[in-house]
Amino acid sequence: MTKKPVAGNEKKILIVDDNVKNLYFLEVILQSDGYEVIVAHNGIEALQILRKTEIDGIVSDILMPKMDGFQLIRGCKKDPFLRNIPFIFYTATYTGKMDEEFGLSLGAIRYIIKPSEPEVLFQHIKEAFSDHARSPRDFSTWSLPDDETFAREYASRVGLKLETKEHLLKESEEKFHLLYQNSMDAILLTSPDGSIQAANPATCAMFQQTEEDIIRNGRTGLVDTTDPRLPVALAECTRDGRFKGELTFLRKDGTRFFGEVSSNLFTDRNGQTRSSMIIRDITDRKRAEEALQKSEERYHNVVEDQTEYICRFLPDGTHIFVNNAYCRYFDKKREDIIGHRFRPVIHPEDREIVARHLASITPEHPVMDIDHRIIMTDGSIRWQRWNDRAIFDPDGRVIEYQSVGRDITVQKELEKELVYHTQELRQFSISLTAANRNLNLLSSITRHDITNQLTVLVGHLRILEKKQPDTSFSEHFNKINTSAQRISAMLRFTKEYEKIGVNAPIWQECLTIVDIAAIQAPLGKIMVKNELPAGAEVYADPLVVKVFYNLMDNAIRYGGKITTIRFSVEGRDGDHIVVCEDDGMGVPAEEKEKIFERGFGKNTGLGLTLSKEILSITGITIRENGEPGRGARFEMTVPKGAWRMTGNGA
């Protein structure tokens, strides 16, 4: 069958295939571009045509009757008249890379697998044949018998071996027997009435039955009759003589499994119509598909429930996925974004940054973060933070991007405001430091002058006492002395108080602080039991050592017959309580709150006030919680952030 060429194109292509549909398919796509198409149904017909006609290219199947594609190309390559004709295999026979390598080793210039998209197939053929010009051939010395005698004569001349039909049939049966016995799929052979005639070993293993049991029980012992797909399958077999689909089957122990079925009618060598059924156990695949579906559903739900904006897009900006959050943020419908080149309007000052960011993503560093601004449709400017991942092909080219983003406008505004307030606070701190320095200087000068005047006053008071020995003035002299001492104590207090908060708080070990305070305190015979753990530290003002000193001094002054002062630590509601307790007289109930007030007490009344102020700098509180008559108990509550264990005590 020869088709007329399109004007201006004289190339002739020989198509060799025993399948009429494939011949028609190839004819249509080749004639559409002006090729003249000539067809043959097997290798013998092809050689007969090649003896008569100059051909520019051959497109051949492999499995064909009488002479297959491998024999055809061997014959062509051994014949000096035909060896230069470009030869393409277009076949469904493909079990691996070795098939393709073998076909190309015989001299084929392409090995194309069926089925193929028309555009792809045509491009392969056009590119292959465009590189090969027709070589002129002389047909005058050729003779051509009209029957198959030609095949034997030609095969003998070019060194081909053509098998007899009997040999091919025997070889085919041997191959089928090997396939039948060693197949991992169940293979059943049935008669026209549906009875089973044979079952291979895989069938017996799959259904846990012997071949005799399978033949005796028939299909009803294998198929789950409750499967709603069974009537449809039987009807299709009756109507078309074949069925391909999925059914549920039963094992001998009653368990069900999913099977993929392929059933076809065929005519055996004796002319009888029979049916073959191949069953593949796909239970594991079904479970995997169900697990994958559930996983995909969970993934879909997770992605859609995210508040972050998630999208996937191609290098040209075409979006292939967006989640709901992405659509809501940009006020667009999903269908308006997917399949389109949607690009948010990037702020002009950030466009170069974004371009460099995308260019910096490489196979070695496929994930990068970036902050940049965009201009919304209403003209407002928003800040976004994106985590971009590039997906590369084996050659290192970007094929897709996946991005997860969120709006950080509020965060950026807060950061900007924080920078402003930090600068403002720094300036305020500088001013405050200068003011404190001036106040401390003034306080120091004033205290120095008052101390000098007080010294003069006390000196003259002593002189006056000696010159006026009259005892009637003794009471007045004592009161003046007491007042002078209190003024001196107040001046000392102001000197200590102005040091509070001057230096930043530091971490200090409690055990060491108590030991230092005990050395400075006038203990006499009073014992100090320091039971604080080693490595326990408080975050406090450097003057915290005076707190412990004042507590000891207060116990010595007002404890009465005191013998022991004990320091320990307790845990309470997540806080740590540092305890200072003694075995003295204790504090009367009505004075427990007043003792921390300035001026209360028999002396200056400033020691506990000073202690409370020092502790409060880092949030430490103090209270007296002892039982009157059984000793004082001062509890210092240290909050979580101001307590830690280090070193050996950790």
Per-block average pLDDT, block size 10, for the chain (650 residues)?
46 88 80 85 89 88 86 88 89 66 86 79 79 49 45 53 57 72 86 83 90 86 88 83 87 90 77 82 84 70 74 89 88 88 89 90 92 91 92 90 90 87 76 57 55 67 68 68 65 57 82 90 91 93 88 88 94 91 91 79 65 88 91 93 78
Beta partners for 391?
Answer: 400
In sequence order, what are the residues at sequence separation of 6 or more whose Cβ sits closer than 8 angstroms to the Cβ of residue 258? 246, 248, 249, 281, 282, 283, 285, 286
Q: How far apart are CA 611 and CA 496, in angstroms?
A: 11
Q: Of the candidates 321, 328, 322, 329, which has an alpha carbon nearest to the alpha carbon of residue 407?
A: 329
**Cα separations (Å) of 8 from 33, 35, 37, 157?**
11, 10, 15, 38
**Cα separations (Å) of 66 from 22, 72, 299?**
18, 10, 56
Beta partners for 579?
Answer: 568, 635
Specify the pLDDT at position 115. Answer: 74
DSSP per residue, 376-443: -TTS-EEEEEEEEEEEE-TTS-EEEEEEEEEE-HHHHHHHHHHHHHHHHHHHHHHHHHHHHHHHHHHH
Task: State both tokens at 217.
Answer: 């029980």
Specify the pLDDT at position 140. Answer: 44
**Cα separations (Å) of 129 from 8, 123, 455, 564, 571?**
17, 10, 121, 110, 90
Specify the pLDDT at position 135. Answer: 47
287 SS3 class: helix
3-state DSSP of 299-336: HHHHHHHCCCEEEEECCCCEEEEECHHHHHHHCCCHHH
Q: With beta carbons less than 8 A apart as the criterion, state whether 77 and 107 touch.
A: yes
Specify the pLDDT at position 350. Answer: 92
Q: Of the candidates 564, 550, 556, which has an alpha carbon nearest to the alpha carbon of residue 605?
A: 550
Task: State both tokens at 632.
Answer: 């004082």
What residue type is assigned to position 74 of the chain? R
Q: Of the candidates 381, 438, 383, 440, which has an alpha carbon nearest to the alpha carbon of residue 406?
A: 383
pTM for the full predicted model: 0.34
Q: How far apart are CA 258 and CA 634, in angstroms?
A: 79
Specify the pLDDT at position 284. Answer: 85
Specify the pLDDT at position 537. Answer: 94
Q: With beta carbons less than 8 A apart as the criterion, state whether 609 and 598 touch.
A: yes
Specify the pLDDT at position 137. Answer: 43
Q: How far apart are CA 74 and CA 615, in angstroms?
A: 102
Torsions phi, psi of 413, nearest 5?
Answer: -65, -40
57 SS3 class: strand
Centre a 10 Å sphere on the Cβ of residue 298 and count the other Cβ atoms it contains: 10
Sequence-ordered alpha helix ranges (H) in 468-606: 474-497, 510-520, 544-558
538 SS3 class: strand
To which residue do tokens 């924080």 refer? Answer: 418
Q: Of the candidates 133, 134, 103, 124, which has an alpha carbon nearest to the alpha carbon of residue 29?
A: 124
Q: Of the candidates 30, 23, 22, which has an alpha carbon nearest to the alpha carbon of residue 6?
A: 30
Distance of CA 402 to the CA centre of its chain: 11
